[in-house]
Amino acid sequence: MFRILKISFLASVLFMLSSCGIYSLSGADIGNAETFQVNFFQNNASLVEPGIDRIFTNQLQDFINSQTSLSLTNEGGDLIYEGEITQYYIAPMTSTSQNTAAQNRLTIAVNVRFFNNKDPEKDFERSFSFYYDYPANQQLIGGTLDSALEEIYLRINQDIFNASLTDW
């Protein structure tokens, strides 16, 4: 009897270990896809901040690469992300008693076209945006801009990832 229990336990453990390849800790459902490609996201916003398009493209590549087992490719990817930065604007959010801005908000919006060449029913085109609030007495340069872009892009990348690979 003990031998049967031992064999059953071993078989169960082997089954669980072999089936773990289907799931990922991030919840990503990559299906049969093996590769992904992120085309350059052109900055088409009316207010142009140099370099934010390159930074966004690279961070989206890095985010997907770190969350999945997919391989990054330059062309012919099973999953393709493309689009453009459509909005980059700064607006005052709160004011002081002297009617001056106390806090500003940077908002960035990105239009994304996602193509799943393994399952075309999952294709979509959608806009994603997020913001960063900062004190009005700071200029949006240097470390303040870096912090803003990091926070905004992380949130947008998570939203793109969830929309394309987790069906959220």
Q: Do 59 and 18 touch, CB atoms closer than 8 A?
A: no
Residue type for 114, please?
Answer: F
Cβ atoms within 10 A of the Cβ of 75, count? 8
Residues pairing with 91 in the sheet? 105
More confident residue, 31 or 72: 72
Q: Select the more confidently predicted residue: 62 or 28.
A: 62
Distance from C-alpha of 10 to C-alpha of 30, rounded to nearest angstrom:
29
Residue 62: per-residue pLDDT? 97
- The Cα–Cα gap between 33 and 31 comes to 6
What residues contact residue 136 under an 8 Å CB cut-off, 6+ apart? 92, 100, 101, 102, 103, 104
| Residue 147 confidence class, pLDDT cut points 50, 70, 90 | very high
Query: Which tens digits make up the pLDDT trace of 78-117?
Result: 999 999 999 999 998 876 666 666 889 999 999 999 999 9
| pLDDT over 60 (residue 136) | yes
How far apart are alpha carbons 85 and 127 in whole angstroms? 9
Between 44 and 25, name the one with better pLDDT: 44
Tell me if 51 sits within 8 A of 96, measured CB to CB: no
Cβ neighbours of residue 101 closer than 8 Å, sequence gap 6 or more: 92, 93, 94, 95, 136
- Residue 50: phi and psi, rounded to 5, are -60, 135
pTM for the whole thing?
0.80
Please give the average per-residue pLDDT across 2-12, as a whole number: 57
pLDDT band of 36, cuts 50, 70, 90: very high
**pLDDT the model gives residue 8:** 58
Can you give the pLDDT at residue 2? 55
Query: Could you give the percent of the chain with pLDDT greater than 90?
Result: 68
CA distance 84 to 42: 5
